Structure 1
């Protein structure tokens, strides 16, 4: 909608109603999940049986709350470990990529940039399957021909990290590159004129300028890694992440504990998103 065009009152009301319906459509399922996390019933469905916190804190033979569910707590730790590793690797490579694409000129630069963007357009399931097949063939070759066991290339946390890193590093690169593009190179030149080496100038001048973008990219990577399902499903081993654990539990039947986990995930995602926006605004 173009604000400068004259609009009738009917159009404004219609547009406002459309926006309201759109956001209700998006928020209604999330609100339902959050509400039924407090329903005093063994099944997350109507009728409403009363308010309870049992699905968060209970520890009885009849009910086991979220904080006492060892399987879910363990999967949260696995997801946090994977997300931390992916975030560190993605932000590190993205920072190097940003300098490569913004500061350097070389043959095939545009082609390399397009290849970097490919993981974003490839479906997560296809990406996971491709990495799994590639890693399995390498492991099978060394196993059958040289009697060398490369268990690290079998389904497990390493492949999960590599699979998520493949597309999250691209997202982080785009975020950090956009920030580096606005940097005044003369600030680095001034630091070098004052006696700083090229590396010292980058570390003391450029990286502090990039810090907000690096933090924002890191928060995005952590959040997307923690909640990733499609790619992780193809690569996970015995150590399941939180999303895989929730999927396995849901196949056995929905329970209010899953609603409680979903509610905490929504709140955590909201806080990280708000933090990322605030960091970007301070930049």
Structure 2
């Protein structure tokens, strides 16, 4: 009984800490979402009443996000970029997983570390480095061969390349962790029964990796969609949503339409996160 009483203050303190932690995380999101429904020109108190105009209104000055052409274009470009980055990252992440789990080659640990390095390099440095390399290459080719390589100028290609440079590492780690759990005797049994390596890969190995591949793709999509610091240095005229929102904030200031966009993204990101968790659940435990 005495021991239980001694632990009570610790338990209370721990619960208060957990509560404060989640309040700290959730309060800004709740505030941003709430002001998306405020019938006011400014995202601030006092509360002026509930409205959906910041989502659906087609009239100025309360033009809703679904009628704001620039925001919709930014949303479209972000979606296109994220799809390309996610697809490339999952493909390369899967091949990297096989390379580092199944492969044996000199300096394997060194190359594994080099694969992880982009995760610890600031996104600003990655963006600047890729921009300088691409621009110098394009300028050299233009001067030497009189050939203009437009895809090496700021634009969607460089944004995809810049985001891919570190997001591929994330997908590689996720899929590698899954592949390490695979029982290779299943492949050996199928090969002994006459199946080709391509069929074993298609019917046994890749289905086992599918949950990790889907989850990694979702994570890659979300990280790409919200990326700002690397994208800022590589973007051209096709500005994705994060850059469009930053530009709007810098020129006009904060308005509830940005809160509406934030609420929309929070809901979408939350749904994708739930799907990612459900996909990775072990079916045998359901």
Secondary structure (helix, strand or coil) at the match of 2:237 reads: coil
What residue number does 1:61 align with?
60
Whole-Å Cα distance in 1 between the matches of residues 17 and 79 of structure 2? 38
* CA pair 28-203 structure 1, distance change in 2 beyond 3 A: same
Deviation, 1:190, is 1.1
Secondary structure (helix, strand or coil) at the match of 1:8 reads: helix
Whole-Å Cα distance in 2 between the matches of residues 260 and 206 of structure 1? 43
> How does 1:103-252 map onto structure 2 within 5 Å?
103-252=102-251
Deviation, 1:6, is 8.9
What residue number does 1:280 align with?
280
Verify: 1:33 aligned to 2:63, yes or no: no
* CA pair 186-60 structure 1, distance change in 2 beyond 3 A: same
What residue number does 1:90 align with?
89
Deviation, 1:209, is 0.6
> How does 1:65-84 map onto structure 2 within 5 Å?
65-84=64-83
What residue number does 1:259 align with?
259
Deviation, 1:62, is 2.9
Deviation, 1:281, is 1.1
Whole-Å Cα distance in 2 between the matches of residues 7 and 18 of structure 1? 18
Which aligned runs of 4 or more in structure 1 are off by greater than 4 angstroms? none
Whole-Å Cα distance in 1 between the matches of residues 60 and 78 of structure 2? 28
Kindly report the root-mean-square deviation, in angstroms, between the aligned alpha carbons of the 2 structures: 1.2
TM-score (norm 1): 0.96
Whole-Å Cα distance in 1 between the matches of residues 235 and 190 of structure 2? 47
- The answer for unaligned runs of 5 or more in structure 1 is none
Deviation, 1:202, is 1.1
Whole-Å Cα distance in 2 between the matches of residues 157 and 7 of structure 1? 60
Deviation, 1:192, is 1.1
Whole-Å Cα distance in 1 between the matches of residues 23 and 62 of structure 2? 32
- The answer for unaligned runs of 5 or more in structure 2 is none
TM-score (norm 2): 0.95
Aligned positions, number = 279
Whole-Å Cα distance in 2 between the matches of residues 179 and 135 of structure 1? 35
* CA pair 99-12 structure 1, distance change in 2 beyond 3 A: same
Whole-Å Cα distance in 2 between the matches of residues 7 and 115 of structure 1? 49
Whole-Å Cα distance in 2 between the matches of residues 162 and 85 of structure 1? 10
Whole-Å Cα distance in 2 between the matches of residues 167 and 6 of structure 1? 50
